[in-house]
Amino acid sequence: MRLIGLTGGIGSGKSTVAQRLRALGVPVLDADEYAREGALVLKSEICQTFPEACSGGEINRAALGRLIFSDPEARRRLEALIHPYVRQRMREETEKARQAGHRLVVHDIPLLFETGREKDFAGVLVVAAPTDLRKARVMARSGLSEAEFEARDQSQLPQEDKVRRATWVIWNDADLDTLYSRVEAWLEEVQR
C-alpha cells in the first residue's frame, strides 16, 4: 500500500482536493477531523492547560484559536496534547484501509512539513494558490479578518517552501473544473 501526504497553506484548496479524491474512491484521512475528535476526548486536559479558553468545562474554539495563533508556546503545548492522538487515529484508519485492500491512502495533514512527517510518506502532494486568492477564500468562508488570516498563514511553513519540498504540486488558481482535472491527472500518474 502506498501512503501519500497531502498538505497546503490555509485557503489553498487542500480540502477541496481531498473531497475530490474521496469522490474518486481514494481513502483520505483528515488530521483536522481527528484533531477535533481529540479535542473532545482530551477536553479536560485542554481546559486544564488553557483555562482562559474554556468556560464551564467546554472549549471555546474561537478563544483557543486566538491564543494559539498569537502565542507559539501555547500552540506547542496544544500540539503536544493533540498530535499523539491524531497520529494514533491515522495509524488505525490506515490499517483499516490496508485490510480493505486499498493500494493508495492519502493523509491530509495541514502541518505535515512543520511536524517533520514527510519522511512517513512515499511522496507529498502540495496544493498551492496565490496568496491574495487564499486570503480572499478564507475571509469569505470563515469571516476571519485579514490580520487573523495573516496570523494563521504565518504560523505555517511559507507556501514557497512547501512547493519546493513537494513531490507533486497542484495549483488551484483557476475554476473548480480545472482543479478537478488536475486532481484526476495527478491520481492517474500516481496509480501507474
Q: What is the DSSP secondary-structure string of 105-136?
A: EEEE-TTTTTTTGGGGSSEEEEEE--HHHHHH
Beta-strand pair 54-55/58-59: antiparallel
Pair 22, 113 in one domain: yes
Q: Is 14 helix (H, G, I), strand (E, B) or coil?
A: helix
155 burial class (0-12, 13-18, 19+ CB within 10 angstroms)?
Answer: middle
- Judgement on whether residues 108 and 57 belong to the same structural domain of the protein: no
Note down the domain range covering 143.
Answer: 1-27+102-192
DSSP 53: G
Distance between CA atoms of residues 26 and 106, nearest Å: 7
Residue 185, judged by CB atoms within 10 A of its CB (0-12, 13-18, 19+), counts as exposed
CB atoms inside a 10 Å sphere around CB 116: 9
Q: Which residues pair with 4 in a beta bridge?
A: 106, 123
Per-residue pLDDT in tens (0 to 9) along the chain, 192 residues: 999 999 999 999 999 999 999 999 999 999 999 999 999 999 999 999 999 999 998 999 989 988 998 899 999 999 999 999 999 999 999 999 999 999 999 999 998 999 899 999 999 999 999 999 999 999 999 888 898 898 888 888 999 999 999 999 999 999 999 999 999 999 999 998
Task: Please tell me whether residues 62 and 157 are part of one structural domain.
Answer: no
pTM above 0.95, yes or no: no
Determine the pLDDT at residue 155: 84
| 94 found inside a domain | no
Do 188 and 119 share a structural domain? yes
77 in a structural domain: yes
Q: Which of 90, 85, 88 is nearest to 43 (CA)?
A: 85
Asked whether residue 133 falls in the same domain as residue 84, the answer is: no
C-alpha 134/C-alpha 139 separation (Å) is 9
CATH number at residue 160: 3.40.50.300
The answer to whether the beta carbons of residues 16 and 176 sit under 8 Å apart is yes
Residues 59 and 146 in one domain: no
What's the pLDDT score for residue 190?
96
